[in-house]
Amino acid sequence: MRTALGRALDREAEKLLACIHCGLCVSACPTYLQLGDENDSPRGRLYLMRAAAEGRLPMTSRALAHHIDLCLGCRACETVCPSGVRYGRLLEAVRADLSRAGATPGLWSVRFLLNHIFTSPTRLHWFFAPARWLRRRAFVRRWAKGKFLPARARLALELLLATTPEEMSPGDERRIIPLAASGRRARRVAFFAGCVARELFAHTNRATMDVLAAHDCEVEDPPDQVCCGALHAHAGEIETARALARRNIRAFERSAAEAIVVNVAGCGAMLKEYGELLADDAEYAERARAFAARVRDVSEYLLEIGLRPGPRPLNLTVTYDAPCHLYHAQRVRTAPLEMIRRLPGLTVVPLTEAEMCCGSAGIYNLRHPGLADQLLERKIAHLRRTGADVLLTGNAGCLMHLRRGVQRAGLSMRVLHPIELLALTYA
Ligand code: SF4
Ligand code: SF4
């Protein structure tokens, strides 16, 4: 039987043959920069994939599984590749084959969660209920700082605490009410609420819907929507990702909204790639392409329809870290910064290596905490030099990881989604 990787390589054959081994991807790759091993670079991983697809390396090879597992999936290699090698497609394909071959040990608990909890909004809601209760408890902060829990449990608690809404000043969270709306409902948009985002970042979702309403949008929240499937695709659970994609397509086809607006970079990248995910599905291929064509990151959409920030000057110095799945995967590069620059009273300062992965990468920071923390420390060193009051980033996972890093480093910097700051201009 032809493997997923074999099929993906066939599709990319022309571009792979055009690889000029220039090494541009190598020096852009965070795992190579940290580890210095060619096998942990895009070029090295492509060699390994090709060897596996051609039968020169068994799919059960530990070296193959190890080096593929260490990849962040950040897709910085795609941005710099002059031949247009679509590394992300190949990565998902090889991970699906490795999963099928049982070559990714230690992932059974992750697979259980992905296939049985993240597929059901009801089960997911109950799964996160204790987390929502715990993050407000003072004793959890003590547990996260103490030494009696295992390191991985403390890390999980720190990340959970980093989902707590941050207020710029007391009461801000309650005062995010759009005053700019004219009362007309000129446009209809459907909001993609996400899975972790719906459960742990309800405040960001609410701010997004408020901002859209302030732009005279009637905002729908289609009731049957589910997780986008990005975590599944990245973990090799490609069939579950496809099943989720079909459910989302059906849920949003019922809406006549002109756009599907999303505020999480990782979800947006996945939704925009449904056409490729379901390319071989006769019933869904065309519907998936039509769905993907409607998807917009919230920054993209607001600029398209004409951004109208509120009048309240924020008087802050801010910097911006580009989420990989917005910058490299969706190629949405200027819209978030353009949106931030137009907010009243902000001074925007550049961040060195803003386009380099922070180490969050879905659940990478939980699976490979050592390497994820090295990348985080690199980012914190750059952040320290900005002197910014606020760090902005448009992806839930990056926000948790960076906020944890900022808090551990003792910086007084706040970490927010750009849309939360925009919402404050109406308060
Ligand atoms: S950047 Fe592209 S062309 Fe250059 S080595 Fe990497 S894959 Fe090959
Ligand atoms: S996706 Fe990121 S970590 Fe993986 S090979 Fe490409 S640049 Fe390196």
Mean residue pLDDT of the chain comes to 91
Quick: pLDDT tens for 359-373: 999 889 998 999 999
Distance 18 CA to ligand 2 centre (A): 19
Q: For ligand 1, is residue 43 a contact (CB within 6 Å)? A: yes
- Residues 53-68 have a mean pLDDT of 90
Phi and psi at residue 368, in whole multiples of 5°?
A: -130, 65
Q: Which ligand is nearest to the CA of 28?
A: 2
Quick: pLDDT tens for 100-134: 888 776 667 888 999 999 999 999 999 999 999 99
Please choose from 14, 15, 32, 43 the residue to mutate so as to test ligand 1's pocket, defined by most ligand atoms within 8 A of CB: 43
| Residue 169: exposure state from Cβ atoms within 10 A (0-12, 13-18, ≥19) | exposed
Distance 264 CA to ligand 1 centre (A): 29
In terms of pLDDT, which residue wins out, 176 or 267?
267
Which residues of the chain are in CATH 1.10.1060.10 domains? Answer: 4-100
Q: Quick one: which atom of ligand 2 is closest to the CA of 324?
A: 2
Percentage of the chain exceeding pLDDT 70: 91
pLDDT of residue 173: 47
Pairing label, strands 187-192, 259-262: parallel
Q: For ligand 1, is residue 120 a contact (CB within 6 Å)? A: no
For atom 3 of ligand 1, which residue has the closest CA? 19
Q: Which ligand is nearest to the CA of 16?
A: 1
pLDDT of residue 391: 98
Long-range contacts of 126-132 (CB under 8 A, 24+ apart): 128/196, 128/199, 128/200, 131/160, 131/163, 131/199, 131/200, 132/199, 132/200
* CATH, range 4-100: 1.10.1060.10
Position 12 pLDDT exceeds 70 = no
Which residues of the chain are in CATH 3.40.50.1860 domains? Answer: 310-424
DSSP label of 242: H
Return the CATH class of domain 310-424: alpha beta
Using 50, 70 and 90 to split pLDDT, how confident is the model at 38? very high
Residues with CB under 6 A from ligand 2: 28-31, 42, 45, 71-77, 87
Position 7 pLDDT exceeds 90 = no
Please choose from 24, 27, 31 the residue to mutate so as to test ligand 2's pocket, defined by most ligand atoms within 8 A of CB: 31
Quick: pLDDT tens for 386-401: 999 999 999 999 999 9
pLDDT of residue 108: 76
Position 177 pLDDT exceeds 70 = no
Lowest mean pLDDT among 13-17, 146-150, 293-297: 13-17
Distance 81 CA to ligand 1 centre (A): 5
- Residues 216-230 have a mean pLDDT of 96
Using 50, 70 and 90 to split pLDDT, how confident is the model at 168? low
pLDDT of residue 174: 44
Distance 41 CA to ligand 2 centre (A): 7
Quick: pLDDT tens for 282-329: 999 999 999 999 999 999 999 999 999 999 999 999 999 999 999 999
Q: Quick one: which atom of ligand 2 is closest to the CA of 45?
A: 5
- Residues 197-225 have a mean pLDDT of 95
Position 178 pLDDT exceeds 50 = no
Position 179 pLDDT exceeds 60 = no
Please choose from 47, 75, 325 the residue to mutate so as to test ligand 2's pocket, defined by most ligand atoms within 8 A of CB: 75
Phi and psi at residue 373, in whole multiples of 5°?
A: -70, -30
pLDDT of residue 55: 86
| Residue 46: exposure state from Cβ atoms within 10 A (0-12, 13-18, ≥19) | buried
pLDDT of residue 182: 60
pLDDT of residue 176: 45
For atom 5 of ligand 1, which residue has the closest CA? 21
pLDDT of residue 110: 84
Rounded CA gap, 222 and 251, in Å?
A: 6
Q: What's the Cα-to-Cα distance from 367 to each of 9, 69, 284, 323, 357, rounded to whole Å?
A: 27, 9, 33, 19, 16
pLDDT of residue 103: 79
